[in-house]
Homo-oligomer: A and B are copies of this chain.
């Protein structure tokens, strides 16, 4: 709990109950889209506004707390930035499963690219055998 507060503070942002709740919820879910984040936080803060979520999401991304996972035809998901991994994304049920780098998935770059900020690996498939 203390660490969440520092996580926000250390990135140069003011600590508000709403921001703590956002980070807590994102952390608890691993990855989450705006709507689910909104629903989750509304339990704790019935008056919270979607606009606040969007504004903070933008802040979090700019300050490097979270990262976006862009998924075609689905809501963008967000996750804390401290763990690097790939994603398996089911096109049918929209499930997102994390795949560990170096362990489950390895990426080899044979060219030199300067200034890499982020690597996104999404594997799209179908995990719903019985639909």
A residues whose Cβ falls under 8 Å from a Cβ of B: 61, 68, 70-73, 76, 88, 91, 99, 103-111, 113-127
Once the chains bind, are A105 and B103 in contact (CB under 8 Å)?
no
Residues of B within 8 A of A73 (CB): 68
Copy count, this protein chain: 2
Distance in Å: Cβ of A87 to nearest Cβ of chain B: 9
Q: Once bound together, how far apart are the Cα atoms of A115 and B121, in whole Å?
A: 17
Q: Once bound together, how far apart are the Cα atoms of A88 and B127, in whole Å?
A: 28
Q: Which residue of B lies closest to A58 (CB)?
A: B73
Once the chains bind, are A107 and B121 in contact (CB under 8 Å)?
yes
Q: Once bound together, how far apart are the Cα atoms of A114 and B71, in whole Å?
A: 20
Residues of B within 8 A of A68 (CB): 72-73
